[in-house]
Amino acid sequence: MNNRLYFARTKRRMTQSELARRAGVSRTTVSMLERRGGYPSMRVATALCNALGCAFLEVFPVDLPML
């Protein structure tokens, strides 16, 4: 479950449908990402972050290996 996407959306009091409409994706896509997690394409991830008005790393953290 991508809790970060869910929390970012609910913090802004948006429904899945509203976020999907603003991002230009289906509600099913938003639901799937919230339930299953994972990383969408860069286009979808960027559109979701723009629709939420938040930084990419706020919603999709990048785990970098320690060097």
Residue 67: inside a domain, yes or no? no
Decide if 12 contacts 23 (C-beta within 8 A): no
Decide if 40 contacts 48 (C-beta within 8 A): yes
Q: What is the pLDDT of residue 60?
A: 85
Residue 64: inside a domain, yes or no? no
Query: How far separated are the first and last CA of the chain, in Å rounded?
Result: 28
62: exposed, middle or buried (Cβ count in 10 Å: 0-12, 13-18, 19+): exposed
Residue 66: inside a domain, yes or no? no
Q: What is the pLDDT of residue 20?
A: 98
Q: What is the pTM of this model?
A: 0.85
- Block mean pLDDT (10 aa), the chain, length 67: 86 97 97 86 95 93 64
Q: How many domains does the chain divide into?
A: 1
Q: What is the pLDDT of residue 67?
A: 56
